[in-house]
């Protein structure tokens, strides 16, 4: 069996489009498994369906994450991918900032409610 380093080197030697295709392979394998899990759930085999669904998600997420770390430099040589990647990063950052501000606001509202006189809740 080939070592992890030799596999990584072979993947790094791929051109950008081959790298993109390689990144799509785990999705192509996992998506039919997710569909099969839905049918298994529907037939009443909840535990088996859950195992298939979790396995499919685990394989696709873990494998894609590792592959993406390897092929990202190649993908960033594609101008259209750079545009999409930058938009993704900006959108992700905005979502995290919104979520963070929302959590802070919710926690401060809870604190105000707990600090108000007995039985009275503060109104906005």
The pLDDT tens digits for 4-24 are 889 899 999 999 999 999 999
Q: H-helix or E-strand containing 85?
A: helix 79-115
Residue with tokens 């963070």: 100
Closest CA to 35 of 58, 59, 52: 52
Distance of CA 21 to the CA centre of its chain: 18
Quickly state the pLDDT bin for 102 (edges 50, 70, 90): confident
Residues 6+ apart with CB under 8 A from 60: 26, 27, 29, 30
For the chain, give the mean pLDDT: 86
Task: Please report, for the chain, the start and end positions of each structural domain, with discontinuous segments joined by +.
Answer: 1-77, 83-124
Tens digit of pLDDT for each residue in 28-47? 888 899 999 999 989 999 99
Question: Are the beta carbons of 53 and 34 closer than 8 angstroms?
Answer: yes
- Residues 6 or more apart whose CB falls under 8 angstroms from that of 22 comprise 11, 14, 67, 71
Alpha helices in 13-45 (DSSP H): 16-42
The number of angstroms, rounded, from the C-alpha of 28 to the middle of its chain's C-alpha atoms is 16
From residue 116, alpha-carbon distances to 53, 104, 108, 121 in Å are: 47, 19, 12, 6
Q: Is the pTM of this model over 0.85?
A: no
């Amino acid at each position: 069996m080939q070592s992890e380093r030799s596999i990584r080197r072979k993947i790094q030697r791929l051109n950008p489009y081959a790298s993109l295709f390689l990144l799509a392979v785990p999705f192509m394998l996992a998506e039919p498994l997710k569909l099969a899990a839905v049918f298994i759930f529907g037939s009443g085999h909840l535990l088996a369906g859950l195992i298939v669904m979790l396995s499919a998600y685990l394989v696709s997420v873990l494998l894609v994450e590792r592959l993406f770390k390897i092929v990202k430099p190649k993908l960033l040589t594609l101008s259209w991918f750079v545009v999409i990647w930058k938009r993704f990063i900006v959108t992700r950052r905005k979502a995290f900032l919104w979520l963070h501000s929302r959590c802070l606001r919710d926690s401060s509202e809870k604190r105000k409610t707990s600090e108000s006189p007995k039985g009275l809740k503060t109104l906005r």
